[in-house]
Amino acid sequence: MWAVTEVREEAYAWPRRPAASRDVLLELLVHGAMPRSELAERLGLSRPTMTRLTRGLVEAGVLVEAETELRTALGRPSELLRVVPAAGHFVGVKLTGDHLYGVVTDLTASVVGTLDEPLTSTDVTSVLAQVADAVERLRRRHRRVMALGLTLAGTLRRDAGPAVVVESMFLRWADVPLEQLLVDATGLPSVVENDVQALTAAEHWFGAGAGLDSLAVVTVGAGIGCGLVVHGRLVRGAHGLPGQLGHVLVDPSGPVCDQGHRGCAAAYLMTAALLDHLTTPEGRPTFDEALARARAGDPAAVEVVDRAGYALGVVVGTVANVVDPQKVLLTGEGLPLHEVAAARFRDGLAATYASDPDRLVIDVQPFDFGEWARSAAALAIRSVVQGTA
């Protein structure tokens, strides 16, 4: 039976604040420094209420009254309110099937410390001990750690209590009450989320999608993921599942994926499937070797990589048709496919997207597991600001 304990008292915390104060802080985190008058207008609050709320946040050291700036053509310069980055630190951990990536960020999600190391085991107890040790090492270097965020590939359930990992294929976990176990192991308020969902939320708050009302994040690599922001909110499925794009049909006469579907995106795009197509009796190439062969003009590699590029275009076009986002953010360890097979990617997009592909904003973001760990820290920031930690 998993034990339940309380968060340790030494976990740093701000004084409890009313919801309106949290709204003020969130607005400044996402949209940057602005004067009280503009904040009041954006949040629908009176000037006296805004003055009272911001005074409390300034006194708590969370906000600072910064420089003045002329915000309109008429009128006097306004004094800006700005978030104090060092007001709190947050630990983020990203787990893969064999690795732990960790970061510490400040309140604005800027990374101030990192670590990465191989997992010694995928056993739940062993992983918890390793995470707790990593968090403790990071906390020795950075004060005011307020919360921990952890992400992994998998399906989570969050009924009325802490999140449970229903299934994580890469770690081979099932029904693990991970959120509460992290509280027990680290003594920090902890939040767990699917990695693609967390990355989407982080990019919407602190990254390429900051301030947008709609955003689609597509990740490609060991799996094919999709996160969506619609009307300024992260979309959460009814059954706790992130967007599933792996079985979008590309070619009904194409190869069969590992789930038995013929011609779907996974059969072309997932790293394992792509390398399967290039495996010969002489051996199996690495992903980098496959791309190098395609760049060098090897016919077999060119064909496989081009088909993957076309499939990626179909996936992006399909998402854009459904959501009509302001931006599609494309990332993941398989991202080099977009560059090597750029022409075929455009072909797949043009064959699928109902509108003019030139109207679609596609933001290609270099892949870095550290960015995924940062998104876990952003998840912790979100939980504290929104009062759920």
> 242, 202, 205: which is closest to 226 by C-alpha?
242
Tens digit of each residue's pLDDT (9 = 90 or more) over 27-58:
888 888 889 889 999 999 898 998 888 888 88
Tens digit of each residue's pLDDT (9 = 90 or more) over 373-389:
999 999 999 889 887 76
Q: What are residue 70's phi and psi, to 5 degrees?
A: -85, 110
**Predicted local confidence at residue 10, as pLDDT:** 46
Taken in order of first residue, the domains within the chain and their CATH numbers are: 19-83 (1.10.10.10), 87-202+370-385 (3.30.420.40), 211-364 (3.30.420.40)
**Predicted local confidence at residue 69, as pLDDT:** 56
**Predicted local confidence at residue 6, as pLDDT:** 40
**Predicted local confidence at residue 181, as pLDDT:** 97
**In the chain, which stretches have pLDDT less than 50?**
1-10, 74
**Predicted local confidence at residue 368, as pLDDT:** 83
**Predicted local confidence at residue 7, as pLDDT:** 40
